[in-house]
Amino acid sequence: MTRGRLRVLLGAAPGVGKTYTMLEEGLRLRAEGKDVVVAVVETHGRAATAAVLGDLEVVPRRRLRHRGVDLDEMDVEAVLARRPQLALVDELAHTNAPGSASEKRWQDVETLLAAGISVVSTVNVQHVESLNDVVTSITGVAQHETVPDRVLRSADQLEVVDLAPQALRDRLAAGDVYPAARVDAALSNYFRLGNLTALRELALLWLADEVDTALQAYRDEHGIDRPWQARERVVVALTGGAEGDTLIRRAARIAARSAGGELVAVHVSSQDGLRQGAPGALASQRALVEKLGGTYHQVVGDDVPRALVDFARGVDASQLVIGVSRRGRFATAVTGQGIGATVIRESGQIDVHIVTHDAAGRGWALPRIGGALSRGRVLAGFGLALVVGPLLALLLVGTRSEDSIAGDVLLFQLLVVVVAVVGGLWPALFAALLSGVTLDVLFIAPVYELTIAEPLHLLALVLYVVNALLVSWVVDQAARRSRAAARAVAETELLATVSGSVLRGQDAVQALVSRTREALGLSRVRVLQGDVEVAVDGAPASGDAVSLVSAGEGTSLELSGGELHAADRRLLAVVAAQVEAALEHSALSREAGQVAPLAEVDRMRSALLAAVGHDLRRPLAAATAAVSGLRQADVTWSDADRDELLSTAYESLESLATLVTNLLDVSRVQAGALAVTTTDVDVDDVVLGALDELALGPAEVELALRASVPLVRADRVLLQRVLVNLLDNALRYSPSGERVRISSSAFAGRVEVRVVDRGPGVPEERRGEIMAAFQRLGDTDNAAGLGLGLALSKGFTEAMSGTLTLDDTPGGGLTMVVSLPEA
């Protein structure tokens, strides 16, 4: 029996249109003559979904009774008996009711497929088993219904039903996804814009990974090993050097030029003694790669160019970005073109970009003045003398004659000059002595004897050695001056870099420490203020020598590893001065940061005085006038007039008491001295207490409190004051006849209380203003008080480890959300 085909519609979230698309596909296939039935579909009360169901044949569901509740499930036996060509099965991750033949609906689908019935089904990305933890971390909601990845990967067709996050929120606000009562909570919880964007990216990336897997499987099956550049994939090679950031940004720009371009960074760790990347630099470059949307990989290979090209081919790279070699010209001339040339030769169809950078042709390490030539060049000179000298003698012995002696001498002289150019003084002296002995034994009579019969021959040998010494001395002096010049340039560049770091204030001390350690080839450099470590770079090896350099009063540079020369000491004196300046700059910055709050306090004090001057004057004047009138002995007041004056005085003094209480509360909040006593609190009780305090009833407020909301950890008195302030604010701005709505919900270990009005709302850019003390929307309503209500509410909520945020009300208005931790 031929197995049925499985087609899965994957969505980022509920409401994107998976079920609608599945039913449309069923109608299309039925119109083409296919035998299509609806095995199970969940419309969730959505009119559009129910309408598209149309007259498709629906297999009746099987009814099961569990714990006194009737449950409907897909009737697998009925579908098998009907044997359609195609069955539409909604919600692949659904858990069947106890008593069903299978625990999960995807198991029912496998039964249908095995019977030769093709299936179109739907699933959301949060139900993919491998992504379950990721979705939980994004949304805060754990999903208990999952589908194994193998089930989805075995599908014959897998496609994403996509909808932009804001479009989905608009559908939700319009009531096209959930009933109106669930819209507010959904928009503020699972259907946050950030959540939907992350879930959408997750769905697309998971599908892209599945497509890559299928493509690779096809290539493996057909023995295709050449790259298939289905998309622009740019690999950038990192060594851990200073040029890494430049290469990463250049590669990212190349990848961004084409839609769907992908950035891949790779570091090849070699085991053949090549320079390894600095772990700190590689970590920083990895963070930059991930910030630019790329991925970072590390591979091990003895042959770095081969490992790099193999990796690029393995990920189907279309382009490879590497940096210009940091080696000098001589190293390039002696050892060849290096990694870049090998990569170009081996890359095949992969385009290679060699990018220049500031470190090209030189490393950061400062050249040492103590030796004119490096040890490598000296050893190369000895090796050249030992290898070429005997080969040259062997070649000339077969053609020697009395007339050829002059030419033989000149050839050996040329060898000595070449050795002098390569290795300097000692290799040249060795080559001169070796070639002199060779000439005497093999070419000057009597041959095969180490004798000097003629004094002129001895003079010639001495002159021969002197020529070698003179040439090697010239080479040594040129190398010494070249090295000194290179060091001077490197010192200047180092000082310019660290000076720039100090002027920019970009963690200047750390920049100084890192550059100094790298430049002087030390294992660790750190800055100490007394016994306190201010900055450090590197780690010392066992047995490293430690040196201290003063960097101002109480501050020192501790240097571990490496021998410090006189020139290094001179440079360190400048670095120490820069460290001292950087620390002074940091201290001044901290002092400036301490001044900023004082300026804010002055601003607040000015605002307070301005507000008090107006808002306290009115109740004081009213109370004073009422009491003064009552004290006039020559005026006889009626009982009604007396009661009115007493009422005016009482209301004015009560207003004053409220203002003074708010001012004291603001002071305590700003000073961090607010007394908070948290207990387990029932949100419903606090809401009812706030309504009683404001004397509000069903005519003014609509309650939508969920019975299942858990207790919160809060201060009952402070929480009631928060809700009173929010309700008072919402009522003030609500249109006449519109009720304020209070709802509650639980989400990700927190409880939210939402106060919803249908007023004019607040522009997003101004929401921060109205949450500040002494601010009223527009600052035009001088009768509205000091503008402390929302500021106090925010301070009280944060004191209880909660948050107060503002959001748009679907359809217009402002929603104030108090979020508190569950008890």
HEC secondary structure over 398-461: CCCCCCCHHHHHHHHHHHHHHHHHHHCHHHHHHHHHHHHHHHHHHCCCCCCCCCCCCHHHHHHH
- Number of CB atoms found within 10 A of residue 716's CB: 17
Least confident of 173-177, 317-321, 360-364: 360-364
Going from the C-alpha of 581 to that of each of 498, 503, 533, 577, the distances in angstroms are 11, 10, 17, 6
Write down the pLDDT at residue 784: 43
Write down the pLDDT at residue 121: 94
Confidence grade of residue 327 (pLDDT, cut at 50, 70, 90): low
Half-sphere exposure of 46 (CA within 13 A, CB side): 22
C-alpha angle 713-716-717 in degrees, rounded to nearest 5? 145
Asked whether the predicted pLDDT for residue 6 surpasses 90, the reply is yes
Asked whether the predicted pLDDT for residue 231 surpasses 70, the reply is no
Asked whether the predicted pLDDT for residue 504 surpasses 60, the reply is no
Q: What is the average per-residue pLDDT within 346-367?
A: 67
Q: What is the average per-residue pLDDT within 605-613?
A: 53
Q: What percent of the chain has pLDDT over 90?
A: 7
Least confident of 215-219, 467-471, 763-767: 215-219
Residues 121-151 pLDDT 10s = 999 988 888 887 788 877 777 778 888 988 8
Write down the pLDDT at residue 778: 45
Which comes out higher in pLDDT, residue 552 or 504?
Answer: 552
Write down the pLDDT at residue 370: 42
Confidence grade of residue 212 (pLDDT, cut at 50, 70, 90): low
Q: What is the 3-state secondary structure (H, E, C) of 511-575?
A: HHHHHHHHHHCCCEEEEEECCEEEEEEECCCCCCCEEEEECCCCEEEEEECCCCCHHHHHHHHHH
Least confident of 349-358, 380-389, 395-404: 395-404
Contact 161, 21 (CB under 8 A): yes
Write down the pLDDT at residue 537: 81
Q: Which amino acid is at 282?
A: L
Asked whether the predicted pLDDT for residue 39 surpasses 80, the reply is yes
Which comes out higher in pLDDT, residue 24 or 374?
Answer: 24
Token pair for 343: 């990569």
Q: What percent of the chain has pLDDT over 70?
A: 74
Residues 74-125 pLDDT 10s = 999 999 999 999 999 998 988 888 888 888 999 999 999 999 999 999 999 8
Residue found by looking up tokens 């490496």 in the block: 562
Contacts of 619 (CB under 8 A, 6+ apart): 651, 652, 653, 655, 656, 659
Contact 254, 321 (CB under 8 A): yes
Q: Which long-range contacts (CB under 8 A, 24 or more apart) does 150-155 make?
A: 151/92, 151/106, 151/110, 152/8, 152/10, 152/123, 152/128, 152/210, 153/210, 153/213, 154/6, 155/6, 155/7, 155/8
Write down the pLDDT at residue 224: 56
Confidence grade of residue 332 (pLDDT, cut at 50, 70, 90): very low
Write down the pLDDT at residue 813: 84
Confidence grade of residue 686 (pLDDT, cut at 50, 70, 90): confident
Asked whether the predicted pLDDT for residue 215 surpasses 70, the reply is no
The per-residue pLDDT of the chain, averaged, comes to 76
Confidence grade of residue 628 (pLDDT, cut at 50, 70, 90): confident
Helix (H, G, I), strand (E, B) or coil at 99: coil
CA separation for the pair 627, 621 (Å, rounded): 10
Asked whether the predicted pLDDT for residue 369 surpasses 50, the reply is no
**Residue 548 bridge partners (DSSP):** 558
Q: Which amino acid is at 272?
A: D
User: What does pTM read for this prediction?
Assistant: 0.42
CA separation for the pair 63, 71 (Å, rounded): 6
CA separation for the pair 107, 6 (Å, rounded): 13
CA separation for the pair 308, 314 (Å, rounded): 10
Write down the pLDDT at residue 371: 47
Write down the pLDDT at residue 115: 92
CA separation for the pair 236, 343 (Å, rounded): 12
Write down the pLDDT at residue 487: 60
User: Taking Cα atoms as reference points, which of 181, 529, 571, 189 lies closest to residue 366?
Assistant: 571
Q: Which long-range contacts (CB under 8 A, 24 or more apart) does 216-220 make?
A: none
